[in-house]
Structure 1
Amino acid sequence: GGEVVVAAACTASLATYLLPQRRSAWGAASSEERNETIGIASDITGATLGTLLLLGSGYALEGSYLAGAGVPDPYARALRTSLIEMEAAALSTGLSNMIKRLSGRCRPRSWKTDRCGDTDLDFDAFPSGHTTPVAAIAGARLNLALRTTGDAAPRLGALALAEVATVVTMALRIGSGAHSWQDVGAGMILGHVTGFAIAATHPIQPTRTPYAAGALPEPAPEPAAITWSWAF
């Protein structure tokens, strides 16, 4: 029940994209030229493609962590983490869209002589929609990493990838002329908070399976890994 509600709410939040765009007098921090090459690079590190790349690499690393901990069906269980990350990315994107529609801030590439452009796309700078979903994945992975026992290297690696993607995307969005620093900063904060909160709504439980590599001394130590619980 609760699992379905959370997933449905996160997915439904994407409908905020359809809200009418406000055009405010909030100008960009500076006027910048459009850089298409840097913009394309930011499409790879952030937004939809960057999110998918992070989900794929994170799934592989999570499966590796669970396999090393001796958890049965590690890659099937790793899908649980991917689902939570997808929820975080979806909800953060929905919230970002809503704030964009309400704030109506001008993009740097559209800000000329203290005036903005003539289309709705010129006024949806705040916050950065490219930055928010990858930052949400970072927030979800941070939540899990803080509660991980045993060899946390794969999970820390997944967290590092998400944080790097977030920072690189922030820099690229500024360099492309699409955003001011406040836009990407807000996207980073919104994403991290949303991802951390979504992960926190999903309980995790320790596995009773020790490491697969060799026997453990008696008495058995604390469980070597934790996985998301299937109970809400």
Structure 2
Amino acid sequence: MRYAAPLACVGALAWSTPAAAQVGPAAPDWAFGDPAGEAVVIAVSAASLASYLLPQRRSAWGAASSEERNEVLGRASDLTGAAGGTLLLLGTGYALEGSYLAGVGVPHPFSRALRTSLIEAEAAALSTGLSSLIKRLSGRCRPRSWRTDRCGDTDLDFDAFPSGHTTPVAALAGVRLNLVLRTTGDAAPRLGALALAETATLVTMALRIGAGAHSWQDVGAGMILGHVTGFVVAAVHPITPSKSPYAAGPLPEDPGARPTMITWTWVY
């Protein structure tokens, strides 16, 4: 553990150094720097959701413990995670990203912020599809369905691992972490967006455990899967420096006064 902090610092420096070399704010471009690349990422993210159509395996992998169902906490987790929490984070993230881009001089900042929202939506969709695929293959029992070494009788009793509520909001946190590490200028809006996503992830994890829907391994796996997916999706989007001449950079140097020129004429 004593090496964790130095390694984290090295990782942060490795990602932040390219950002420091940028002229202008860190505005993400199309995937792989090409609209066609963006189309591929969108297609892959959307196609991953087809994993919901796969049959659910019913394995002997039991929950960490047997827990009672808590409907109140379950409904609360629908607002912090899953589709509900993801939509709320997308809205607040869009506003904060537009604020950041406006502050560093990007033209039409709130239009450009839609590209960041697209990246986050791709990450949420892809992580959800991957989570669903793992659920179908693992077939782990939910704590609320686990009784005396025996699970329930429906497919929904066997889709605990990983947490589908946790994964998409963690994916947004992964995207925002990547962008923060490559940010130039005032990073406060992006740090705020990251803090919201990380908070939503942790709260959702706690609520899903309290609701009896997941064991700690399920939510932990969802957190890791989401962060990694979001970070990678953001990483394939290169940074485009602002074309604004004064954005996030020093003012041009004063060329100084022109030298005095003396002319001579014979005309009186």
Do they superpose with TM above 0.5? yes
Q: Is the 8 A contact 2:61 2:141 kept in 1?
A: yes
Question: If the length of structure 2 is used for normalisation, what is the TM-score?
Answer: 0.79
Q: Say which SS state the counterpart of residue 240 (structure 2) adopts.
A: strand
1:150-189 to structure 2, matched below 5 A, reads: 150-189=185-224
Q: Is the 8 A contact 2:105 2:242 kept in 1?
A: no
How many residue pairs were aligned?
A: 218
Give the drift of 1:208: 3.7
Give the drift of 1:216: 5.3
Runs of 4+ in 1 over 3 A off after TM superposition: 215-220
Aligned residue for 2:79?
Answer: 44
Q: Is 2:57 aligned against 1:8?
A: no
Q: Say which SS state the counterpart of residue 172 (structure 1) adopts.
A: helix
Aligned residue for 1:147?
Answer: 182
> Which amino acid in the other structure matches residue 196 of structure 2?
L
Q: Is 2:106 aligned against 1:56?
A: no
Q: Distance in 2 between matches of 1:151 and 1:36?
A: 42
Aligned residue for 1:204?
Answer: 239
Q: Is the 8 A contact 2:77 2:208 kept in 1?
A: yes
Give the drift of 1:207: 1.1
Q: Distance in 2 between matches of 1:176 and 1:219?
A: 61
Q: Percent identity?
A: 80
Aligned residue for 2:60?
Answer: 25
Q: Is 2:229 aligned against 1:194?
A: yes
Q: Is 2:129 aligned against 1:90?
A: no
Structure 1 vs Structure 2 CA RMSD: 1.4
Aligned residue for 2:28?
Answer: none
Q: Say which SS state the counterpart of residue 57 (structure 2) adopts.
A: coil
Question: Unaligned stretches of 5+ in structure 1?
Answer: 221-232
Query: Match for 1:135 among 170, 185, 188?
Result: 170
Q: Say which SS state the counterpart of residue 149 (structure 1) adopts.
A: coil
Question: If the length of structure 1 is used for normalisation, what is the TM-score?
Answer: 0.91
Q: Which one has a bigger Cα radius of gyration?
A: 2
Aligned residue for 1:229?
Answer: none
Q: Distance in 2 between matches of 1:58 and 1:126?
A: 28
Q: Distance in 1 between matches of 2:41 and 2:136?
A: 24
Q: Distance in 2 between matches of 1:173 and 1:18?
A: 24
1:115-134 to structure 2, matched below 5 A, reads: 115-134=150-169
Question: Unaligned stretches of 5+ in structure 2?
Answer: 1-35, 255-268
Q: Distance in 1 between matches of 2:201 and 2:89?
A: 11
Q: Distance in 2 between matches of 1:153 and 1:7?
A: 29
Q: Distance in 2 between matches of 1:24 and 1:140?
A: 33
Q: Distance in 1 between matches of 2:137 and 2:164?
A: 14
Q: Distance in 2 between matches of 1:135 and 1:91?
A: 12
